[in-house]
Amino acid sequence: MTYARQRLGWQVMERLMEEVAGPLAGQEQERAFVSGMRLVAVDGMCLDLPDTPENGAEFGYPSNAGGRGPFPQIRVVGIGECGTRAVLGAVASPLATGEQPLTRGLLGRLAPGDLLTADRNFLSHGLLADVLAAGVHVLWRARSDAGLPVLEVLADGTWLSRIADPAASRRMRRKGAAGKDIPGITVRVIEYSVTSEDGSEVSEAFTLVTDILDPGLLSPEQAAGAYASRWQLETCFDELETSIRGGAAVVLRSKSPPMIRQEIYAMLCCYQAIRTLISHAADDAGLDPARISFTRPRGNPKPHQRLRMLFPLKAWPPAPKTSPSRSPASATWSPSGPAAATSARPSAPADATRPASPAKPPG
């Protein structure tokens, strides 16, 4: 088995992952879209590896004030579709490579008009500029100490600010410039907290930034709900760790860097196969894919047969994937906040095009 895996190499599994990764939600799955935009998320995780000299030299060890960690680790960054938990793209890299550089390499897996959510570790002027240049909208959480000067307060209580270029900011501050006078990428800031149903508990403040400046295109309620859906990708990573790998405490079995990469991309391919099966089953039953157990399809007695039906062999290289452009739907409701008295549920305009459901496998 080991010799066969070595002959195969890891690049084959990486290419297979690139081929099978992609969105699964069709136009009838409304929860996969926000105001006409496909809701996607980016996040990262680190996996423990066998403590061999080769793995340690290639991937590195985590460390803190207490010293070096017991196992080498590999960093995996992925982009997923929130509505179905499908993987759109993923990359594995040594621990020293941060999440932001790895995210840049995955931007080609997104379509113009997607709405990308991300946590506090991803917000930077450079990455934000690259994502917007790809035609993708953002809804990212900002750190509590992020410099977000109030440039203009909007009717719904949100405000316009900017994300400054750090180099330009340092130069201008040395010259005595105020924060609001420093140029940058214009963003809209949405700040809120979550209160428990009985009112006894209030969460920490969430500060989100988005390039969608018009509250009529993305209300604060929609933004809060969309950011909460980002946890679907963390659920995806949890399913990879617990159901595919066997648990967070289980170390990957491979002893060498090439086989580690092969094992990770193979896990991702199996995960996507199960997610595709779940999506088709949910579509047949008229259910939300999130309501179907991940462990049930995983226990299929003949997974290789399902894999072959879901992902038939194709010629290489594959034809480039295309996706219709999407943009925020036109405002058809009043924004929330002090200036709003009522609101209505938004509906996508007639010209908002979204892909149809992927074809189902035979059988």
- Tens of pLDDT, residues 204-221: 999 999 999 999 999 999
Higher pLDDT: 47 or 331? It is 47
Structural domain boundaries in the chain = 2-119+230-310, 140-226
pLDDT of residue 297: 55
- Read off φ and ψ for residue 133, nearest 5 degrees: -65, -25
**β-strands 63-64, 137-141 pairing:** unpaired
Res 93 pLDDT > 80: yes
pLDDT of residue 146: 86
Reference 33, options 289, 222, 275, 233; nearest CA is 222
Q: Identify the band that residue 54 occupies on the pLDDT scale cut at 50, 70 and 90.
A: very high
| Interval 177-196 mean pLDDT | 86
pLDDT of residue 296: 56
pLDDT of residue 28: 72
Structure tokens at 117: 């959510």
CA 8 vs CA 172, 206, 312: distances in Å: 55, 47, 19
pLDDT of residue 14: 93
pLDDT of residue 142: 96
Q: Residues 246, 249, 255, 259: is their CA dihedral positive or negative?
A: positive
The 8 Å CB, 24+ separation contacts for 135-139 are 135/111, 135/325, 136/107, 136/110, 136/111, 136/112, 137/37, 137/113, 137/210, 137/211, 137/212, 137/328, 138/209, 138/210, 138/211, 139/115, 139/208, 139/209, 139/210, 139/212, 139/218, 139/223, 139/226, 139/227
b/e per residue, 113-148, with b = 16+ CB within 10 A? bbbbbbbebbbebebbeebeeeebbbbbbbeeeeeb
- Tens of pLDDT, residues 146-160: 889 999 999 999 999
- Tens of pLDDT, residues 67-83: 899 999 999 999 999 99
